[in-house]
Structure 1
């Protein structure tokens, strides 16, 4: 999973440093070697189809005219693509098309649309002044596009496999008497399934077909099983699990939300050397049996009887089940797989005598355990938890989820224990029923959507790097076919608010485009005729309360597609989602009053603001009407922008006018003449500033100053919930308060981003204080140790601390604008853009500040240095060196100056504590807030006058002001 540090990443383009503006001390030099200067135009990468990231042939595509993308690894200086040529071989014929265009991302399919089962081999080459070599071929293979392509029908066992019964398995057989040249399996299920041909798994995926809005969209998968089908009789076995379809699911304790019967749909098509096509499809001739999987639930775990014999006969009938084959769809993103195996780091005994295993990392998956010496029928029980409390598994955060796997041993001398139809969120496990367990006998199997890592960050700050790594693991554990809110308790739902704020971060860290495209398809399918967006997608809650419009949550319908456009350049996603986007904003027009202020309703507000009561996370300091109206303005503006991108000018004007009117209503209703925003919370200022709701420059300046004062008065602790957390640092940085943002970022006291790191966290917590400083679990009844939402700030970390950002859709141009924190000596970020790797790395040493930028072919970088100077550069590797200005140390004029000087501030806190006046920096900050504009000499009157003699107070002030 680890990739090279960004500073080690190179391409072969010539570095150029032109158009530099700034003082004479600014220097730029090319890192290009003579060899690089002579770089030839490289062959493009093998073409990519839509957003698929498959390794090898791309199968199961159901877009008849798949768009193509490629990148170019190296090119001569000054290269610009002027044309591309596409070669397509299909059906025994090869055709070529030359297109005069500089585009290389998601370009149109030039050939006739593909039909079901079609295979095409595609190559591309590009032209600058001359043609490049041809790319390696990309292979695309179509799935079944129409219901009539299916001769198979859904089948379900009769008399077995019911609710709370053992998992069923169905079998079909086919006789093949000629040499097999090609074999494909097309499959899906009501429930989740595994498939085997002649006893061998058809692939390495898990939990197929995943979770979608099953009533409207059911995914199918295509398997190349040519190597598994033999001459003679062949068996196809499909084992069915409850999964999301029929298991206990949702915190209301319901079961069988989509149906009370499991069913399989499978169609095996085998082509032999004589040209014949043999088809084995699920129908009434198949037979069924019960398996040794006695029970399986996502929440509760799996019970497995290992005494089950594989020779047990298939002696039960099946029957066909009515189902709409018109809702079958292909895959937009990657399937779920085992992505890593983590060995145990310790085995210990808890205070109560239980055997505890620590894997050193909070993760999602299951335990694989090697058991030896057990007797037939011995029961082994494995429980899972994210944290320990007083040395025991902390199971309270699981709520009603049992998260327990049980095995009845077969009596073999040694056997492997692992489930197949459940997963857990855990770092720790305990086990009973084993006489002996060695650390080498147990490992954690990590599962999730098999996303490709494309973004990295590193710095000189170890805790900050750990925080970033925690976000990565949080995303891995919660991108399990849909973007979930937590992987361990009786929930694991696709909350729209969580992914709305996290989508920019997700798209930097991993190639999430296909994954989120699929989820947005579910969102559009679940959106009702009034434009309302359920709070979870897919919608299993289905209540009036959780379908009513909620700001920030329903806005996912608009913000997530726009984020995908910004990060991938996929105009098609806007074309597809624009009706859904528009419908949401039209819904808000009705929700808002005639004055365009959205008041009331079922709002989550600034969810989990640290000041909110434990039992009511929506009661944040930020007023919910401010948040709602801000989102109304933002979403209306995005619809206008999206309409402009897709070429609907009248719609763009309509919604731009609406957005402007809502912004005016926001200021009229919530902003005072002095720049105060109603409810005076960090989040309301962050929204107002970062989304441009306050357009008057003087008002903006006053609002920004107030936001900075709020952060100061919190003792540089975070005071935002889900809504404000992703943007508060942007609002500060973009309005001249970067140092305040940096101190907020590097704070370690609770609440802060780094506090969980000090407590040993390896993922992002749901609450700022999911674990209290004394090591006990927050007793709110709703806390998770694996939520990604509060980690969404790392998008700002990538863009402004490291300094790597897209400045036009799909990274066609990038903005390099690092704002280096004083607390770091280096930072770096790299991202595999649609055009190739872009990276930024800066460091400071000996008074010199160095910036290294890598720009992929086809991209232009606009570089802005922190102390003045800018440049526009093309592809290649570039470096700048600048003498970092030394700030003159002057005596503080105001109390605010003392607070803003971190050295003096820490001295103030230290002196206060030592003299026994105030031992809390947060309390001192609150006490000083009304006096920020007072002269520094009045500090004693603000803090100590009533406690210390005047002379002592003056001496302390002198020490601090030194």
Structure 2
């Protein structure tokens, strides 16, 4: 089609929802056309609302996050919008299909519902069922249910659940912010008598947060719920049903429920029909008002839903005789079972991510039981799935199953925030492909209402450092704008409580906030990422006070020296050389990490101020950023380009954060590459260095070094977990040791996305697809064909449409293909250095393939260690002989050797093995030399 067509209209509604949270939601649309170099000249917007039709014309190319141009929406207003565009070529498109826009917010002071719960709970976090009945007296035009909880709930009208959402409304700093769902329940009402029922549990609101003896509920010991049903009639009148003390409440079959412990459900306790009219609740108690909470606001983040179901892949009988199910994928969710048996039979479901010594590996769960119990009613075939908990698991142990077990009767149900998938990456390298798939699953498991560190143990908290490093990768793979935008509101709330200090976790349940570099910097990094990837200036504007408060906090800590020193830091957390019980004890000094982040946040704030037109702030913080830069360079970088902490993370920060001047990047990058080789091309970085080391290497011309680091399979490396069967990203590089035992540290997770931050480099650098202007208004297409790969490609649904960059090796050439969306342009840099500036369309280019670097013809005991490690065949040959002759020497040379230029192989192994093994190594290398020389 050459005529432009709007194929999609976007608002700030959560994914798969028409409900907007504000009276003036920003608008956007995607244009599809076969015309090359298409740019929008204007767009006509037509809004149909009950009061009539309103129109507006946008002049120019704006098509993303366009300010609402109409009169503000009214609460519960139901409107539809359509768009028609005209290109700069003068061709006018057709009208788009209308997009429904429903105003899901409440009017000021309209919320009157009371938070209610059990009057006499039997214990902490007691689940409950609540109900009320009401009459419908007239023709209903619309019925809208607003509901929230400090806890988690599901509502049902006349026996039918009102939606398919899970664990709603999620977790926010409940004392300051609650979220309501807005649900259209018109179709569920009937003339006459109706009933509204709610199932309620504690979840985040009543969980024991904190470590060891400090664990306790942070928001009260009991859940409470509030609901408000507004019924609008055809005659213009309305009725409102609110939660109050007239409601009836009881305990039900859900006996106990917790995030960490799991659920206990007794199906013999019968409350069937409690959400239908006529149910006998005479034995129930009157609902009691609970602690009040703030008037809720409409949801802006995506709902959590059941996203996928996985069948049992294998039934394992463990050495202890236990029955364990393997689902083939580490996931987040719960089990759905279908079973029949005698009443009173109890089935126990235990969950874990790994097996150890053939049994369920539960030690990493710490205090979390991760156990669900179901007691049968004995009423025939029964189906059950826990409702108000979730687990991180690949394996599940089943105990107490009545009769013969059929694995088809158990299904793993995957749940997470229902965000739109927007990014894909493919490569010919199978292990890297699996690494990327693990990154995706790590995101899915930890994006459940908030970005968590891990989904399985007694933690599951919104650690700020994790999302700070992972936000760029996340924003490519999924549409996380609304998800992170909502979380940033919570960050600002908790930061205000901390007088400018961003806490370690958001929501904060770990005590008074303390500053920590890279963690608190989420306040300045994440809003900048949202602007970079979505063109989201509105979030940047709203978060500006938070960004400024954090930066001012850092500058106070840094003082006149402009260096943040001598205080607590997580530092380069989980550097692989850190002892298991001292994960902050990294090679790069904590003071260097901290001071680098003073520069990063100050620089980000200055850039935000410039973008927002705050010229005084831009000048002020820009000047201070230069002072921090100068202080950092004077204190931590020698004139010759050597860092005081001679470690990879230090060099990577100086390069990627932009602290070191361009003219110093060459020497810094060379030293970084040398350190990477010295370590045998094994990872030497933690949470701070890992997301940026590959960028630091490739920016300074060390693509081959970055490739070796990426494709390393020995521990520690990105691919070592893949070779060990990982299906998600691990918290530690060696969460599982090579012998199949779990890392001895008390903090070990097998689903942590932080080290998956390399995904952003795979997308931007290897495939070559990156934003060159906010929101991908301009793309940078610069593929990097790396050695050992036949192809790589990335595809991303930008705010303007689908963009693509890919390359493949073909007949000694590199074939590059790209797709540039309508209404955008791209700067293309080919592998041979040729550049093109192009408009929208599909393109192909051809470039010469670089010659592979040939290994030296002759290798032997006289070869330097550097030459051996740079020669994968020679390295493998040496290890092969050592493994056969003296395995402990092989382990030592793999893990302890500094692969130096000035030391030869023979000298290095002479003190580890005897003459016979040395001779065997020499002979094996001589064979390799003979093959290479053709002898």
TM-score of the two chains, using structure 1 as the length reference: 0.91
Choose which of 39, 48, 64 in structure 1 pairs with 2:10.
Answer: 48
Report how far residue 360 of structure 1 moved: 0.9
The aligned residue for residue 617 of structure 1 is 583
TM-score of the two chains, using structure 2 as the length reference: 0.93
Q: Deviations over 1:550-586 (max 9, x none)?
A: 0000000000111111110111111011110011010
Choose which of 5, 27, 31 in structure 2 pairs with 1:68.
Answer: 27
Superposed, 1:761-776 pairs within 5 Å as 761-776=726-741
SS at match of 1:102: coil
Superposed, 1:420-819 pairs within 5 Å as 420-434=387-401, 435-528=403-496, 530-543=499-512, 547-695=513-661, 697=663, 699-819=664-784
Q: Deviations over 1:588-621 (max 9, x none)?
A: 1111132111102220011011100101100011
- Within the alignment, does 1:872 sit opposite 2:842 as a pair? no
Task: Label 1:929 to 1:747 Cα distance change in 2 as closer, same or farther (>3 A).
Answer: closer
- Within the alignment, does 1:105 sit opposite 2:79 as a pair? no
Q: Is the 8 A contact 1:154 1:283 kept in 2?
A: yes
The aligned residue for residue 119 of structure 1 is 78
Structure 1 unmatched runs, 5+: 1-38
Report how far residue 787 of structure 1 moved: 0.6
The separation in 2 between residues aligned to 1:581 and 1:851, in whole angstroms, is 40
The separation in 1 between residues aligned to 2:922 and 2:458, in whole angstroms, is 58
Q: Is the 8 A contact 2:878 2:921 kept in 1?
A: no
The separation in 1 between residues aligned to 2:856 and 2:442, in whole angstroms, is 45
The separation in 2 between residues aligned to 1:350 and 1:925, in whole angstroms, is 33
SS at match of 1:843: strand
Task: Label 1:298 to 1:925 Cα distance change in 2 as closer, same or farther (>3 A).
Answer: closer
The aligned residue for residue 262 of structure 1 is 223
The separation in 1 between residues aligned to 2:259 and 2:853, in whole angstroms, is 60
Task: Label 1:924 to 1:295 Cα distance change in 2 as closer, same or farther (>3 A).
Answer: closer
SS at match of 2:706: helix
The separation in 1 between residues aligned to 2:105 and 2:853, in whole angstroms, is 70
Q: Is the 8 A contact 1:356 1:429 kept in 2?
A: yes
Task: Label 1:951 to 1:216 Cα distance change in 2 as closer, same or farther (>3 A).
Answer: closer
The separation in 2 between residues aligned to 1:489 and 1:77, in whole angstroms, is 52
Task: Label 1:569 to 1:892 Cα distance change in 2 as closer, same or farther (>3 A).
Answer: farther
Task: Label 1:927 to 1:148 Cα distance change in 2 as closer, same or farther (>3 A).
Answer: closer
- Specify which structure has the bigger relative contact order, considering alpha-carbon pairs within 8 angstroms and separated by 6 or more residues: 1
SS at match of 2:510: coil
- Within the alignment, does 1:91 sit opposite 2:50 as a pair? yes
Q: Deviations over 1:635-688 (max 9, x none)?
A: 110101111111111111111111111111111111112211122111111111
The aligned residue for residue 923 of structure 1 is 893
Q: Is the 8 A contact 1:386 1:425 kept in 2?
A: yes
The aligned residue for residue 351 of structure 1 is 319
SS at match of 1:931: coil
Q: Is the 8 A contact 1:497 1:553 kept in 2?
A: yes
Superposed, 1:148-187 pairs within 5 Å as 148-160=109-121, 163=124, 165=126, 167-187=127-147
Q: Is the 8 A contact 2:116 2:289 kept in 1?
A: yes
Report how far residue 871 of structure 1 moved: 1.2
The separation in 2 between residues aligned to 1:690 and 1:957, in whole angstroms, is 40
Report how far residue 706 of structure 1 moved: 1.1
Choose which of 341, 347, 352 in structure 2 pairs with 1:380.
Answer: 347
Q: Is the 8 A contact 1:301 1:405 kept in 2?
A: yes
Greater shift in the superposed pair: 228-237 or 95-104: 95-104
Task: Label 1:774 to 1:906 Cα distance change in 2 as closer, same or farther (>3 A).
Answer: closer
- Within the alignment, does 1:827 sit opposite 2:815 as a pair? no
The separation in 2 between residues aligned to 1:762 and 1:775, in whole angstroms, is 15
Report how far residue 78 of structure 1 moved: 3.3
**Cα RMSD (Å):** 2.4
Choose which of 349, 353, 356 in structure 2 pairs with 1:389.
Answer: 356
The separation in 1 between residues aligned to 2:499 and 2:239, in whole angstroms, is 48
The aligned residue for residue 8 of structure 1 is none
SS at match of 1:206: coil
Q: Is the 8 A contact 2:164 2:305 kept in 1?
A: yes
The aligned residue for residue 277 of structure 2 is none
The separation in 2 between residues aligned to 1:922 and 1:869, in whole angstroms, is 46
Report how far residue 923 of structure 1 moved: 2.7
Q: Is the 8 A contact 2:769 2:783 kept in 1?
A: yes
Instruction: Give the paired residue count.
Output: 910
Task: Label 1:927 to 1:411 Cα distance change in 2 as closer, same or farther (>3 A).
Answer: closer
The separation in 1 between residues aligned to 2:898 and 2:166, in whole angstroms, is 57
Q: Is the 8 A contact 1:43 1:133 kept in 2?
A: yes
Choose which of 829, 842, 845 in structure 1 pairs with 2:810.
Answer: 845
Q: Is the 8 A contact 1:713 1:922 kept in 2?
A: no
Choose which of 92, 102, 126 in structure 2 pairs with 1:131.
Answer: 92
SS at match of 1:726: helix
Task: Label 1:939 to 1:246 Cα distance change in 2 as closer, same or farther (>3 A).
Answer: closer
The aligned residue for residue 201 of structure 1 is 161
Q: Is the 8 A contact 1:46 1:124 kept in 2?
A: no
The separation in 1 between residues aligned to 2:397 and 2:259, in whole angstroms, is 19
Choose which of 256, 274, 288 in structure 2 pairs with 1:319.
Answer: 288
The separation in 2 between residues aligned to 1:696 and 1:725, in whole angstroms, is 22
Report how far residue 401 of structure 1 moved: 0.5
Report how far residue 289 of structure 1 moved: 1.7
Report how far residue 89 of structure 1 moved: 1.6
Q: Deviations over 1:826-876 (max 9, x none)?
A: 111111011111111211132121111111111212111112212112111
Greater shift in the superposed pair: 714-723 or 940-949: 940-949
Q: Deviations over 1:391-449 (max 9, x none)?
A: 11111111010111111110122111211111111111111111321111101011111
Report how far residue 533 of structure 1 moved: 0.5
The aligned residue for residue 187 of structure 2 is 227
Q: Deviations over 1:260-295 (max 9, x none)?
A: 332221111222344432221112221112111111
The separation in 1 between residues aligned to 2:830 and 2:166, in whole angstroms, is 47
The separation in 2 between residues aligned to 1:78 and 1:471, in whole angstroms, is 35
Q: Is the 8 A contact 1:173 1:280 kept in 2?
A: no
Superposed, 1:232-247 pairs within 5 Å as 232-247=192-207
Report how far residue 516 of structure 1 moved: 0.2
Report how far residue 111 of structure 1 moved: 1.1
Report how far residue 948 of structure 1 moved: 6.1
Choose which of 359, 366, 369 in structure 2 pairs with 1:402.
Answer: 369
The separation in 1 between residues aligned to 2:293 and 2:668, in whole angstroms, is 55
Task: Label 1:130 to 1:443 Cα distance change in 2 as closer, same or farther (>3 A).
Answer: same
Report how far residue 173 of structure 1 moved: 1.2
The separation in 2 between residues aligned to 1:324 and 1:483, in whole angstroms, is 23
The separation in 1 between residues aligned to 2:568 and 2:895, in whole angstroms, is 35
Task: Label 1:199 to 1:954 Cα distance change in 2 as closer, same or farther (>3 A).
Answer: closer
Q: Is the 8 A contact 2:64 2:799 kept in 1?
A: yes
Q: Is the 8 A contact 1:804 1:840 kept in 2?
A: yes
Task: Label 1:387 to 1:918 Cα distance change in 2 as closer, same or farther (>3 A).
Answer: closer
Greater shift in the superposed pair: 528-537 or 645-654: 528-537
The separation in 1 between residues aligned to 2:149 and 2:738, in whole angstroms, is 47
Task: Label 1:704 to 1:888 Cα distance change in 2 as closer, same or farther (>3 A).
Answer: closer
Q: Is the 8 A contact 2:45 2:57 kept in 1?
A: yes
Q: Is the 8 A contact 1:84 1:124 kept in 2?
A: yes
